[in-house]
A and B are shown apart, each in its own frame.
Chain A
Amino acid sequence: HPRAVGRWSLT
């Protein structure tokens, strides 16, 4: 799983 990219948010 890639993880070190971008910011996660609720849809």
Chain B
Amino acid sequence: MPPEVLARFLPAWHGIGAESSSIDRLADVVFQLQGLALPASVIERDVLSARVRDYRPRLLDELVSMGEVVWAGRGSLGQQDGRVALIHGRLREQLARRPSFFPELYTAAGGGDTDAVLDALWDLVWAGEVTNDTFAPLRA
């Protein structure tokens, strides 16, 4: 893809300057970025506020308190900051209902990009929260 085409495509794909300000819009943004480690100081100030109109911290608090979104640390950055990844809670909700094969998890996560769902699943694996009834995923 030529650089100028990519430069036009990326902001639109990320919904930079989106008109929507709802909590559903925020959930979509988190789903798109889930598993990505970002400095905690940057997530709300630069990333979410550019993608959700009239972003307010209360919106994210609401999603976290509902269990829709989970945050996980990804290492410190000096004494005042650290990297954090937002993870959509739908995988956890599904696994809390019953052990599941991947297609069921993918559906529960809302579909979309398979790699994004896999990244989130493996975040949970490496966090020690999720396991598999075979050793095969680790061997592969």
Number of A-B contacts (CB under 8 A): 58
Q: Which residues of B contact A4 (CB under 8 A)?
A: 102
The interface on chain B, measured as residues whose beta carbon lies within 8 A of the other chain's beta carbons, has a size of 24
**Contact assessment for B105 and A8 in the assembled complex, using a CB-CB cutoff below 8 Å:** yes
Size of the A side of the interface (Cβ < 8 Å), in residues, is 11
Chain B nearest CB from A4 CB (Å) reads: 6
Let me know if A8 and B129 touch, CB within 8 A: no
Report yes or no: A2 in contact with B130, Cβ–Cβ below 8 A: no
In the complex, 19 of the A-B residue pairs with CB atoms within 8 angstroms, ordered by the A residue number, are A1-B119, A3-B102, A3-B114, A5-B134, A5-B140, A6-B133, A6-B137, A7-B99, A7-B133, A8-B99, A8-B100, A8-B101, A8-B121, A8-B132, A9-B95, A9-B132, A10-B92, A10-B131, A11-B129
Binding site for B on A (CB under 8 A): 1-11
